[in-house]
Structure 1
Amino acid sequence: MTKRWDYLHEKISHHLQFIYADVVTTTPMGELATELMNTIGLHSEDDIVIPEPHKNYWDEQDIIMITYGDSVMNEHESPLFTLFRFLHTYCKNTVNKVHILPFFPFSSDDGFSVINYSSVNESLGTWSDVHRIAAEYGLMFDLVINHCSSRSMWFDNFIKGEGPGSDFFLTADPATDLSEVTRPRTSPLLRETETANGTQYVWCTFSHDQVDFDFRNPKVLLTFIQIIKHYIDNGAKIFRLDAVAFLWKIIGTKCINLPQTHEVIRLMRTLIEHVDPSIMIITETNIPNRENLTYFGNANEAHAIYNFSLPPLLVNTMVTGDCTYLKSWMMSMPPAQNGTTYFNFIASHDGIGLRPAEGLLSDEEIGTLVQSMQNFGGRISWRSTDHGQQKPYEINITLFDAMQGTVKGPDKYQVDRFLCAHAIMLGMEGIPGLYIHSLLGTSNDYDKVANTGQNRSINRKRWDYSELEAQLDSPYSQHHKVLTRLSQLIRIRKAQEAFHPNATQFTLQLGTALFGYWRQSLNRRQSIFCISNVTDEEQSILLSDLNLIGTDNWIDLITRDQIEDVLGFIQLKPYQTVWLSNMDYEEYRKANN
């Protein structure tokens, strides 16, 4: 073999030695390293691509839409084809990447209890439908890595005690003290299961239909590298590692964020980036902010991490009219070094997670936020603490309905408040992700909650495509207004160098009613002051507080109004955002035509 191949083989062996240091395995680490390299397609020197350290494979053009494969449905065609039509018709000039939530055969949790990782759910379409979307959009695939369905072939073989998967699952003695284990759900941790080898107690972090893998078995790791290769071959450009924080378990610990988990991610990063350095890994770790940040590693783990603290803090800001907590959090966030970035979102298929707000919002603030969301029709999902107490885990509500009003109650500013929240998110450091139901201004789906009995269904509406078309083509509908105005904001964002995900960002000190930050492009040519009125009253700002350079020509990119006097002031209507840029107006107009 060549020097390059030997170096990579040694690096992978090092990862494996760390992961399995305390595990008795029958396979030598060098042999396993070779098998992993061959599995992902790194057979020889010619297959290995050398990644450039700290390179950003993203820019201000990148906007990710998050959607289920069947969020839009049309009679007599596959939902994935209907999704392609929707993207082509309504999102072609705004979205360039798409996260299709798990589109594999599943048994529960709207896709996150996977029965078969290698095929497309027949009710959604075929691999050809996936390839059609992948030809025009960068696709994010879910790698549901912590658990699979109890109806999978693997778990059937576990019950039978023979065949592939028979040794894939984690079991524990129910007499063991498991009180330290971090739980995102209130169901019992262990599932009693009758097998050919007697009664087994299977570890289930989330639900008894979602049985946890035992990564102490190297066969499990090898199987997931096979899955990764399969997804790359079918168009995956981004991997979302679902619930990855729970991957490795050690009795007597919290069984979350363990060093072996981080090393598995580093191993996957090493393998993937030597196949194609432009393929991204995003870790989905719905945990307190400080713990979440560790998944960057030293630019050798996730390329991007979900900014899970943003949704609860931003929603809290909008309903209280006070940006104190959001501002404090933003000032505390370290700039992502080149080669890494944040994945910003304020709505997703799940609810508004509250664990990432722990330590950032007080219990009283969280209680007020929860009550406000319940007043707007939201539901609350709960979790058990280490001491058996029940605490709110997430708020289940559509973001559009979460913006109905303030702590004082509903008001007339729902659309403006909703767009203000998105303007704040779109200008921030990182890559923006927009949930399809935010793009569409979808309201709470109470019928689906009643049908499924699941709180999260409130934000998982399935639109009939013809009905959706009628709404989007009507200038009077909330859906038309939201999509039109959001699309305008996105198009403006995509034209600005200062909105590169890694461009410089500083938080501005403008009081509690005005939330602001400054962005500067990597080449320092463009500056943008992003300022939002987060209250239901007019606010004014002295431009002298911003220290605008008097020799530059300043404009508001959103209204296209020019700033005539940099020592004057501007009035911001309730929930108005301005993006004040020193880019010449003619340059801006050319960039947007």
Structure 2
Amino acid sequence: MESSPLSALEQRLISHLQVLYPQTDAGELARQCLSALKLDAKTPSPQPHRNIWDQRDIMLITYGDTLRWDDHPPLETLHGFVKTRLSDAISVVHLLPFFPYSSDDGFSVMDYTTVNPSVGRWRHVSALAQDFKVMGDLVINHCSSRSRWFENYKAGVEPGASYFYEADPNADLSNVVRPRTSPLLREIQTQNGIKHVWCTFSHDQIDLNFENPAVLLEFLSIIYQYLEQGIRWFRLDAVAFLWKTPGTSCINLPNTHEIIRLLRLLIEHKAEDAVIITETNIPNRENLTYFGNANEAHLIYNFSLPPLLINTLVTGSCDHLKNWLMRMPPAQQGTTYLDFVASHDGVGLRPTEGLLTEWELDNLINTMKRFGGKVSSRTLPSGDIKPYEINISLWNALSGSVAKGPDQWQFARFMCAAGIQLALEGVPALYIHSLFGTENDHDRVEHTGQLRSINRHIWNMDDLEHALNTPTHHQKVFEAMVRLLKIRRGQPAFHPNATQYVLHMGDRLFAFWRQSLDRRQSLFAIFNISDEPQSFNLAELNLIATDEWTDLVSGQKHEDLLGKVTLMPYQFLWLANKVGKLSEPN
């Protein structure tokens, strides 16, 4: 009997598998991949170049236990807060790893199939996914040294015995690019003798071996469980380091991109509304490659934005930010950027390579130290130590300027950063502490011994509610941020794929133009990024005289299109010819 012809999905899947696993029966492995996802081979392909997002999509980044209240499960507390306070301001919740873990605040996963009992249960994740889109972390490069897989590795039994990447300690690994200063290899006593396992990050985070197709199949089963619980957005954590080839840099290798294309193919066939985001904290040019040809990541992190924007606002010059933005290619339809300024990690410095000089970088680092920040480092292939990221809360990072130190413009500077982030091409992602203006948590750093803890404060809900309901800077920030988010969500010109064009208005005024996909709404975003008043003439913008122009932020109408506008320190305009509606709850 002749076998039935292969479906289009099977043919595409086999082509990827033949590249990755040339010694394996690709047809049989393709069937196993489909089975792991419970995916019908005849599933039609989704329409390419679809934008599965619009201007209403704004992401909240948070740990599952950032908000705690008495004996309530933290995930339940978080759900209640975002539903009550933010349902008309955000649409996506990025739940940072919520699994049992042994270190790194969740990124050293012990069990991908279980929710950490101290945070909640799968039902809490599913409940959140009914009200918001939920992004989950696929911590795909490594897992905990205390995981069942690694225990099995040491015992020489499956699953696990062949799951981890081993290396010869005498091999030439001098070209390997790393984000840490710890030794790359860890010596382990196993049932089969002494082995040396690969540890890109820490010795508690053992790198998985994707040369073994069984590891791929394990992660497809994990992805299936995520989908079953309502998760639709997938963050591929540290994915740039996934594939190793000794003698190379072991970062951004061709097979890493091939794995991403394979995962994209399978996940979007299983769920048409699924979105893949790659987390690649690397120089800008390399980061852009993770779009592929609109067949890898749907979204990539705009990693150069945080250091460049902070540098802009503390130096009072937008030259570097403007030049970078001018060189950023418009994303193809069906792809876009994830714009963030703060996150659970520090402010990455690798994305400034080729954008800031060494002197400018040192100046930024020293300024952040003045504002209470810390600096983490990495080891270069040469053995030299180099700054890797700045650890600081965004509120403190914007507390002053390079020239004058802390000043009275902290709130205005903070909101200017938000105004820029929300106006740029892409989907904005706001760290939960940016909504509250949370300060550096030095006590938590001392308690954990981890520099990143400075920006991972845990709020008791009683304390947070008090801070948001009394005259504090937390209340002022929260109310201003939510108002800005609501305005943003109503403007078609802020669609993540709407046209963006940089304007030249000097180094103290950062400005760009956005136009909606249907070309009906034009919006000029103009920011004074200095601590002194700045003026410009509306005639510079060539506004269409037959339209009515309104600043969406203040509500002021600008009828004299030849008039002069003066912006106070860090003041900004969202000047639009049409006023969109305020957003409504999801």
Query: Under TM normalisation by the shorter chain, which class is it?
Result: over 0.9
Paired residues, what number?
A: 582
CA contact (8 A) 2:499 2:515 kept: yes
Equivalent residue for 2:30?
A: 33
1:230-264 CA distance string (max 9 Å, x none): 10001111000000000000010000000000000
Matching residue within 482, 486, 491 for 2:486: 491
Q: How many Å separate the matches in 2 of 1:437 and 1:411?
A: 21
Q: How many Å separate the matches in 1 of 2:83 and 2:44?
A: 33
Equivalent residue for 2:196?
A: 201
Equivalent residue for 1:554?
A: 549
Q: Secondary structure at the match of 1:65?
A: strand
Q: How many Å separate the matches in 1 of 2:417 and 2:520?
A: 27
CA 1:591–1:16: 2 relative to 1, 3 Å: closer
Equivalent residue for 2:441?
A: 445
Q: Secondary structure at the match of 2:82?
A: helix
Q: How many Å separate the matches in 1 of 2:392 and 2:89?
A: 25
Q: CA deviation at 1:592?
A: 8.0
Equivalent residue for 1:119?
A: 114
Matching residue within 263, 271, 274 for 2:258: 263
**Is the aligned partner of 1:532 residue 2:524?**
no
Equivalent residue for 2:47?
A: 52
Matching residue within 411, 416, 440 for 2:412: 416
CA contact (8 A) 2:56 2:583 kept: no
CA contact (8 A) 2:10 2:41 kept: no
Matching residue within 236, 241, 247 for 1:241: 236
Q: Secondary structure at the match of 2:557?
A: coil
Matching residue within 86, 99, 106 for 1:104: 99
**Structure 2 alignment gaps of length 5 or more:** none
**Is the aligned partner of 1:153 residue 2:148?**
yes
Matching residue within 363, 384, 387 for 2:379: 384
CA 1:177–1:58: 2 relative to 1, 3 Å: same
Q: How many Å separate the matches in 2 of 1:39 and 1:127?
A: 20
**Is the aligned partner of 1:16 residue 2:17?**
yes
Q: How many Å separate the matches in 2 of 1:507 and 1:325?
A: 13
CA contact (8 A) 1:382 1:393 kept: yes
Q: Secondary structure at the match of 2:72?
A: coil
Q: How many Å separate the matches in 2 of 1:589 and 1:338?
A: 25
Q: Secondary structure at the match of 2:14?
A: helix
Q: CA deviation at 1:440?
A: 1.0
CA contact (8 A) 2:436 2:478 kept: yes
Equivalent residue for 2:515?
A: 520
CA contact (8 A) 2:83 2:131 kept: no
Q: CA deviation at 1:6?
A: 1.6
Q: CA deviation at 1:50?
A: 2.2
Equivalent residue for 2:72?
A: 77
Q: How many Å separate the matches in 2 of 1:591 and 1:173?
A: 57
Amino acid at match of 1:464: N
Q: Secondary structure at the match of 2:270?
A: coil
Amino acid at match of 2:34: M
Q: Secondary structure at the match of 2:440?
A: coil
Q: How many Å separate the matches in 1 of 2:583 and 2:195?
A: 63
Equivalent residue for 1:433?
A: 429
1:493-532 CA distance string (max 9 Å, x none): 1010000000000001010000000000000000000000
Q: How many Å separate the matches in 1 of 2:81 and 2:284?
A: 35
Equivalent residue for 1:399?
A: 394
CA 1:300–1:590: 2 relative to 1, 3 Å: closer
Amino acid at match of 1:505: Q
Q: How many Å separate the matches in 2 of 1:590 and 1:460?
A: 31
Matches within 5 A, 1:177-192: 177-192=172-187
Matches within 5 A, 1:272-311: 272-311=267-306
Amino acid at match of 2:197: V
Equivalent residue for 2:341?
A: 346
CA contact (8 A) 2:426 2:495 kept: yes
**Is the aligned partner of 1:212 residue 2:207?**
yes
Q: How many Å separate the matches in 2 of 1:189 and 1:590?
A: 51
Q: TM-score when scaled to structure 1?
A: 0.97
CA contact (8 A) 2:325 2:502 kept: yes
Identity %: 55
Matching residue within 496, 504, 512 for 2:499: 504
Matching residue within 313, 329, 332 for 1:337: 332
CA contact (8 A) 1:115 1:148 kept: yes
CA contact (8 A) 2:140 2:242 kept: yes
Matching residue within 459, 463, 474 for 1:463: 459
CA contact (8 A) 1:49 1:275 kept: no
Q: Secondary structure at the match of 2:513?
A: strand
1:276-327 CA distance string (max 9 Å, x none): 1210000000000000000000000000000000000000000000000000
CA 1:120–1:591: 2 relative to 1, 3 Å: closer
Q: TM-score when scaled to structure 2?
A: 0.98
**Structure 1 alignment gaps of length 5 or more:** none
Q: Secondary structure at the match of 2:262?
A: helix
Matching residue within 252, 255, 260 for 2:247: 252
Q: Secondary structure at the match of 2:281?
A: coil
Amino acid at match of 2:8: Y
CA contact (8 A) 1:308 1:353 kept: yes
Q: How many Å separate the matches in 1 of 2:201 and 2:104?
A: 10
CA contact (8 A) 1:104 1:111 kept: yes
Equivalent residue for 1:61?
A: 56
Equivalent residue for 1:139?
A: 134
CA contact (8 A) 1:174 1:201 kept: yes
Amino acid at match of 1:173: D
Q: CA deviation at 1:387?
A: 1.4
| Superposition RMSD in Å | 1.2
Q: How many Å separate the matches in 2 of 1:454 and 1:49?
A: 47
